[in-house]
């Protein structure tokens, strides 16, 4: 089966078509242009260059969060529109799980994104033979707490994502030996979304366009400010 995958959770934007554990086509851009401007033209060009149409696609997947609130909304809206028009099932994939696919060939890894406010969005996975096993849920966690959880671990630890450099430096400074993923594998990719989506589809986790929702993990800044003002 062919899965069209989109990734809009951070500064970069990408799309891919994945089939049977391998990418058939992909496109990536990190120029600072808004996703609302770049995403759909990128998808259209990729499909045309691969001689594919939405009729050839079995499901559409998106990195549903955590990540940039604006980026997630743009990606979710795009998938809803594409899936609704083409009557395709959808898959909302953890951004962190999709990111972990980049280094699934290693043993023991940490997926981290910069969440600001002295935290990272994080999930820990164990990798063996290219297969990922989730060890923690996606969470917003302080670097101090993450460091405490990783103290004394015997497996090699690799960090990646927007918060990868921040996480790597903090862990090293506090005695947790780890490696930083190489630059070509450090950030999010729609290929990882597609690979994770294949497993999710096999588990029966596909939903309709109406049911697809973003996963924010915590309230947006505007919501936090409003709550703070109401509680004063």
Task: Tell me how long the chain is.
Answer: 232
Q: What is the pLDDT of residue 144?
A: 94
Kindly indicate the confidence band of residue 117, based on its pLDDT and cuts at 50, 70 and 90: low
Question: Across residues 124-151, what is the average pLDDT?
Answer: 93
pTM: 0.91
Statement: residue 175 has pLDDT above 90:
yes
* Residue of higher predicted confidence among 227 and 163: 163
Question: Across residues 68-93, what is the average pLDDT?
Answer: 97
In 184-204, which positions are buried (b, 16+ CB within 10 angstroms) versus exposed (e)? ebbbbbbbbbbbbbbbbbeee
Statement: residue 226 has pLDDT above 60:
no
Statement: residue 219 has pLDDT above 80:
no
Q: What is the pLDDT of residue 232?
A: 56
Q: What does pLDDT average to over the chain? A: 91
Statement: residue 228 has pLDDT above 90:
no
Contact assessment for residue 71 and residue 188, using Cβ atoms and an 8 Å cutoff: no
pLDDT (tens digit, 9 = 90+) per residue, 37-62? Answer: 999 999 999 999 999 999 999 999 99
Residues 6+ away with beta carbon under 8 Å from 97: 111, 123, 125, 132, 134, 138, 192, 196
Question: Across residues 144-163, what is the average pLDDT?
Answer: 93
Residue 225: CA count within 13 A, CB half-sphere: 3
Look up residue 87 and give its two tokens: 């009557």
Nearest Cα residue to 115 out of 178, 76, 65: 65
Contact assessment for residue 80 and residue 90, using Cβ atoms and an 8 Å cutoff: yes
């Amino acid at each position: 089966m062919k899965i069209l995958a989109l990734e809009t959770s951070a500064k970069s934007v990408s799309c891919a078509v994945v089939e049977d554990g391998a990418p058939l086509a992909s496109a990536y851009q990190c120029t600072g242009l808004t996703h609302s401007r770049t995403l759909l033209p990128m998808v259209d060009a990729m499909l045309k260059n691969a001689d594919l149409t939405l009729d050839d696609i079995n499901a559409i997947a998106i990195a549903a969060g955590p990540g940039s609130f604006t980026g997630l909304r743009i990606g979710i809206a795009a998938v809803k529109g594409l899936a609704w028009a083409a009557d395709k099932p959808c898959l909302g994939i953890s951004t962190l799980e999709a990111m972990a696919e980049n280094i699934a060939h290693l043993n023991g890894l940490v997926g981290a994104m910069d969440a600001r406010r002295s935290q990272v969005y994080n999930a820990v996975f164990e990798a063996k033979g290219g297969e990922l096993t989730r060890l923690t849920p996606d969470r917003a966690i302080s670097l101090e707490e993450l460091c405490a959880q990783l103290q004394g671990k015997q497996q090699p630890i690799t960090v990646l994502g927007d918060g990868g450099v921040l996480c790597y430096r903090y862990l090293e400074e506090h005695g947790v030996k780890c490696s930083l993923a190489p630059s070509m594998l450090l950030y999010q990719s729609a290929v990882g979304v597609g690979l994770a989506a294949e497993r999710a589809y096999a588990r029966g986790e596909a939903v309709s366009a109406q049911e697809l929702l973003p996963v924010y993990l915590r309230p947006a800044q505007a919501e936090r400010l409003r709550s703070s003002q109401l509680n004063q």
